Structure 1
Amino acid sequence: MKAFDLLPALIQLVAHQESAGGDATGLAARIRHRLEDISHHSTSYYFGPADRLVPWVAPDHPAPEPALRSTILTSVLTPVWEPDRQARRTRLCAIMTELVKANKRVLLIAPDNRTLDETLLASAKALRGAGLQYRSFLCRYEPPTIAHEGGINLRELSFDAQVSAFLGKSQSDKAGLRRKLTRYLELAPILRYKAEKQKDLDEVRHLEWRLLSAMGDVQSRIHRLEETLARYESLAIWHRLGMQVVGSNVGTMQENCRLYEVQKQEYLQELEVAQARINELKPEAYVEPEMRPEYDELKDEIHRLGGVERVREVLATEEATSRRPFLQAKRVIAATAAKVAGDTIFAPLRYDALLVEDAPHIPLPLLFICACMTRERIVLAGDPRDLPEPRPTEEGWLMGWPTDLAAESLSPTGTVQS
């Protein structure tokens, strides 16, 4: 028999319990809907590991010892049947440590919150003993019933606490990013303005340099003419005649001196205007020494994040109301079997391994749903003396596993919107 062949029987069993009127919490209805979803969308689930459960939950014939229902050794299904609870959990936690080191996603389930908390404490100690940061790997979906023990605070591992811490960090990161964007948008126009003023300042300084050069040339010419006029009478006659031939006599030299002087005054006026403009532009173009490095750092950060528009989109986006991504990010999720099977937030999640503590006290419909969420490996742990004798159900199916959803070991569950 395959696991998929059990689905009709499980659906009938749960439907019968639902119609019997003992489903005050609505758990049976949610479980039935989940089983029907597995039946209708079988390609979205995994039946390989679940097939290995069949000899244990629905044996073909009674075995002299419950722990001997299946003698097939396989890496897909690992039974840890041990009456001693401490020894059993030690083995279970050792397996979990191996899975965590192998980077596997693990679902840890138990029939009730107390058992789950005790197992989670043992797991945290095992991971800590292996030199691993258990806070980074473990997550308790429901609020823990044990606050702390042995230096381990289970409240720190609770899903709500981790989500709140993440959202708080996210809001802090957003606030920091918003400050960076605001500062960048403040500095950008300031530096653009100062860059324009620096360009103007460079142009005016270039004009000043050209005016100074031109005025220097004019002054040199005036100086040469004045020297020539001062010693004109002492020049040889032939020298003066040569100068007059080219139109250079006392009258023309005096006239040229006046023209050069006028030109010099014009240059001086233009130079005064240019220097006044330079004095105006200097403070406008001045950039504080720390402003440019700050702007360059902010510019690189904004560019790395995709530009101003992308950063604005990120800041405008509200925090997602879905809590499922946080569950997907955790390596080990610990929850009661009823919560995993009945809460819609777990419906699309899949895990590499399923670890089951106190398995004989988990009703088969819940165990079956959790098994179908598992890709690679199932570890069943419990006291073999708690395994019931195989008995036929009212529908005629031979079941060697508890099927009653109203068992006292189940903790109440509620649906959490995802």
Structure 2
Amino acid sequence: MKITELITRCANALAEERDAAPGRGMDAPIPVCGGQRRSTAGGLHLYAFDLNEEAPLAEDLPITLIPPADLEPTEGFVVAREGARVIIQTFDAIGEQVPAATIVPDTSGFFDTASRRLIEMVSRADAYTLGPAERLLPWLAPEHADREETVRATASTAVLTTNWGEDPAARRGKLAVQVTDLVKNNRRLLLITPDHRRADEVLGTLARAMRAGGMQYKSLLSRYEMPVQRSAAGMPLADLGFEAHVHQFYAKSHANKASLRRRYERFRELTPLLAYKAEKQRDLDEVKLLEWRLLTELSGLQAKIKEITATLAEYDSLPLFKRLTMQTLGKNVATLNEYRTIYEQQVQGLMEELETAKHRIEALMPEAAIPRALRPEYQELKEEITRLGGTKKIRELLSAEEGTNRQAFLQNKRVLITTAARVLADPLFTKVRFDTLVADEAPLIPAAYLLAAAGLVRERIVLSGDMRDLTAVKAWDRFGIPAIRQAFAPQSASAVSPGS
């Protein structure tokens, strides 16, 4: 079997998963609650939400987050699952606290993008270097490899190096030495892991090793996504994120763009606040309308009481004919007194309701009040956002404006750390190439994901992990589809690999 045949089979298998995803309910909306913003880096934000453990949300799955009220949806992807807790990286801020929201996963889109990427690797072979990936054939498809290829694959060579071991600490320490040596030889590395927590851990290990070697690790290492953990291996990770690097650099060199981004973020910040104020203003208007109706009714009753009192005062002096007419209508001294008593009781009830409405108005007024300078600021921002085509258009403009620059910035990073699924799904990785691929915990990475990353390197592949996971997890069997399905399975049904 040739490497192109294996890649094609992986692409077809992912296409089948794409077609089956809607029928399995994997694109169905998922309600979440208890949202909190955990951290922010540049224009990216990490939010944690509570959800049902049965929800099929896998890491790196693209999603649309629909917040409550009048807030606009935002896009993002899953970076971690912690039982009934999911952590999402979003491209817009939706407030510090999000009591309730809806997540719409794009599982079909994820598999479609993955399948198309692999097909592109075969159809545009001149744009990809598949030589190093060929060396993975005996590992990923041993049933189609001859004995000589299998024996050659088990030995480390200049193109394919293996770092197998059962002790995670020793294995990762050896990997840190290998990565450091490659960096010293001016090699650009793509380091992939099965999940984001392992990416954080290997990032901390490499940062500590490089710092011990006197290397400028902050400029050499870059975590493509926002770190899920604040620190790893005793090293803080916040300043090692790619988005943090990009934001710091472009904030200094592109003042106009930074100003637009700040105004856009300010607009996104004011939108939920003013939406809350508007909701309270609607409540206040309803209570004031009720107060007006009560006052109108009260005024009518008081007028009737006044009329009855005046009639009783002059009743004896009224002409006989008028008194007889009033008595015919049931208006004599006794009935008029009864009417007045009834009206006075109704007035008392209305006064109590008015008192309640008054207290409610007093409570709502500060909640609905908008600072004098805030509304003009928001209107100015809203007019500018509308003039530029809306928030979605601005996001597209910002991304398009910085697309080439982000690519160049990415190519200047010596070691880029991310997950294998992100390499497969993020379009930016179709434009960049690396010298070496380092796969940490490689036996846990599905074969299709590993092949996609292998097509981006020109010289060398390093596989690191515990060989026991090859049989325990079987991420390389059947193109990795069973392992991918397991990742998308409900958390309560997911099996934990023994080597993880």
Whether TM-score is above 0.5 comes out as yes
Query: For 1:334, what is the secondary structure of its paired residue?
Result: strand
Distance 1:75 1:14, change over 3 A: same
Taking structure 2 as the reference length, the TM-score comes to: 0.48
Query: For 2:485, what is the secondary structure of its paired residue?
Result: coil
Query: For 1:349, what is the secondary structure of its paired residue?
Result: coil
For 2:486, the equivalent position in structure 1 comes to: 407
C-alpha distance after superposition, 1:142-182 (max 9, x if no partner): 1101112455221101111111110122147999xxxxxxx
Equivalent of 2:466, from 363, 378, 383?
A: 383
Q: Report the AA paired with residue 175 of structure 2.
A: L
Q: Is the 8 A contact 2:443 2:473 kept in 1?
A: no
For 1:321, the equivalent position in structure 2 comes to: 402
Query: For 2:229, what is the secondary structure of its paired residue?
Result: coil
Q: Is the 8 A contact 2:435 2:459 kept in 1?
A: yes
Q: Is the 8 A contact 1:387 1:401 kept in 2?
A: no
| C-alpha displacement of 1:13 | 1.1
Taking structure 1 as the reference length, the TM-score comes to: 0.57
Map 1:8-407 → 2, pairs under 5 A:
8-21=8-21, 24=27, 25=107, 26-60=109-143, 70-149=153-232, 152-171=235-254, 320-322=401-403, 323-388=406-471, 399=477, 402-404=480-482, 405-407=484-486
Q: Is the 8 A contact 1:107 1:353 kept in 2?
A: yes
Distance 1:14 1:41, change over 3 A: same
Query: For 2:225, what is the secondary structure of its paired residue?
Result: coil
Query: For 1:142, what is the secondary structure of its paired residue?
Result: coil
Distance 1:20 1:386, change over 3 A: same
Count of matched residue positions in the alignment of Structure 1 and Structure 2: 260
Q: Is the 8 A contact 2:155 2:161 kept in 1?
A: no
What is the RMSD of the two structures over their aligned residues, measured on CA atoms? 3.1
Q: Is the 8 A contact 2:138 2:145 kept in 1?
A: no
Distance 1:128 1:29, change over 3 A: same
Q: Is the 8 A contact 1:138 1:331 kept in 2?
A: yes
Q: Is the 8 A contact 1:355 1:380 kept in 2?
A: yes
Distance 1:137 1:173, change over 3 A: farther
Q: Is the 8 A contact 1:107 1:351 kept in 2?
A: yes
Q: Report the AA paired with residue 51 of structure 1.
A: E
| C-alpha displacement of 1:40 | 1.0
| C-alpha displacement of 1:2 | 2.7
Q: Hey, which of these two has a bigger chunk of strand by percent?
A: 2
Query: For 1:103, what is the secondary structure of its paired residue?
Result: coil
For 2:5, the equivalent position in structure 1 comes to: 5
Q: Is the 8 A contact 1:140 1:334 kept in 2?
A: yes
| C-alpha displacement of 1:72 | 4.0
* Distance (Å, rounded) in 1 between the aligned partners of 2:477 and 2:400: 47
* Distance (Å, rounded) in 2 between the aligned partners of 1:74 and 1:44: 25
Query: For 1:80, what is the secondary structure of its paired residue?
Result: strand
Q: Report the AA paired with residue 77 of structure 1.
A: L
Distance 1:132 1:173, change over 3 A: farther
Query: For 1:83, what is the secondary structure of its paired residue?
Result: coil
Q: Is the 8 A contact 2:132 2:457 kept in 1?
A: yes
Distance 1:83 1:388, change over 3 A: same
Q: Report the AA paired with residue 356 of structure 1.
A: A
Q: Is the 8 A contact 1:75 1:377 kept in 2?
A: yes
Q: Report the AA paired with residue 2 of structure 2.
A: K
Q: Report the AA paired with residue 487 of structure 2.
A: E
C-alpha distance after superposition, 1:310-362 (max 9, x if no partner): xxxxxxxx994212222111111111111111010111111000011111111
* Distance (Å, rounded) in 2 between the aligned partners of 1:166 and 1:88: 35
* Distance (Å, rounded) in 2 between the aligned partners of 1:33 and 1:104: 29
Q: Report the AA paired with residue 82 of structure 1.
A: G
Distance 1:133 1:173, change over 3 A: farther
* Distance (Å, rounded) in 2 between the aligned partners of 1:131 and 1:347: 33
Q: Which stretches in structure 1 are left out of the alignment for 5+ residues?
A: 176-317, 411-418
